[in-house]
Amino acid sequence: MTSPAIALIERRVSANRFDAGHALTDAEIEELVRLATRAPTAYNLQNWRFIALRSPAAKARLRSLAYGQAKVSEAAVTFIICGVLPDHAAIPQRLLPFAKAGYMPTSTVLAWQEGARAQYADPQRARDEAMRSASLGAATLIYAAEALGLASGPMVGFDAEGVMREFGLGPNEMPVMLVAVGRAAPGNWPQKPRRPLAEVLEIA
């Protein structure tokens, strides 16, 4: 028997059509983001921020920066998923409760902090990590939505500088992906074909 988790991986599609009359409550939005933040991040940095646009006015502002894509305003919520440049100074705060509970020696927390400091001194690597964390958060949000019976539509078709300006992102933040989430309307495409495993998998 296929497990529910595998079934949702198999059936998820990138939705383009959403029921514009459907809304999500604060509690539903919070649950989606709570689940999204279960995604792993390097050094447990959790270097992301989720901006949930629900009001028609906020979604309209984003839509105009996303080449007019209708799903931005028709979905119940469109998330701006932001990556944040890693801050190694935040690592103790992210891990100390775990160390205090006895799972990790404090010396390891400090070693991770030093590892992150060295690794992200290079601005390109810091930016890559922000993109990676936000992408993992976005993917987890997408599957959480599916598990809650909601459709999702990821987007990179937007003006990143415009979004940063319009939604007040900090200089250490970047909008990595938009994800529209809501109830699917009729007319969505089925999942598109995937490349054969032989083209994408190497087992060494």
Ligand X SMILES: Cc1cc2nc3c(=O)[nH]c(=O)nc-3n(C[C@H](O)[C@H](O)[C@H](O)COP(=O)(O)O)c2cc1C
Residue 192 touching ligand X (CB under 6 A) = yes
Q: How many residues bind ligand X (CB under 6 A)?
A: 11
Which sign, positive or negative, has the C-alpha torsion 166, 134, 6, 29? negative
Which sign, positive or negative, has the C-alpha torsion 3, 141, 66, 195? negative
Sequence letter at residue 201: L
Query: Which residue number has the CB closest to ligand X?
Result: 157
| Range 34-53, binding ligand X (CB under 6 A) | none
Q: Closer CB to ligand X, residue 37 or residue 135?
A: 135
Q: Closer CB to ligand X, residue 96 or residue 131?
A: 131
Sequence letter at residue 21: G
Q: Closer CB to ligand X, residue 70 or residue 90?
A: 70
Q: Are 177 and 94 in contact (CB under 8 A)?
A: no
Token representation of residue 120: 């992200």
| Range 148-177, binding ligand X (CB under 6 A) | 154-157, 177
Report d(CA 112, CA 180) in Å as an integer.
Answer: 35
CB of 16 to ligand X, least distance (A): 6
Place of tokens 């938009």: 178
Report d(CA 116, CA 89) in Å as an integer.
Answer: 9
CB of 196 to ligand X, least distance (A): 15
CB of 171 to ligand X, least distance (A): 23
Token representation of residue 135: 């992408």
Report d(CA 165, CA 104) in Å as an integer.
Answer: 40
CB of 68 to ligand X, least distance (A): 11
CB of 110 to ligand X, least distance (A): 36
CB of 155 to ligand X, least distance (A): 3
Report d(CA 113, CA 116) in Å as an integer.
Answer: 5
| Range 53-92, binding ligand X (CB under 6 A) | 69
Residue 14 touching ligand X (CB under 6 A) = yes
Token representation of residue 103: 């799972």
Options 12-20, 46-54, 87-95, 112-120: segment touching ligand X (CB under 6 A): 12-20
List residues near ligand X by CB under 6 A: 13-14, 16, 69, 154-157, 177, 191-192
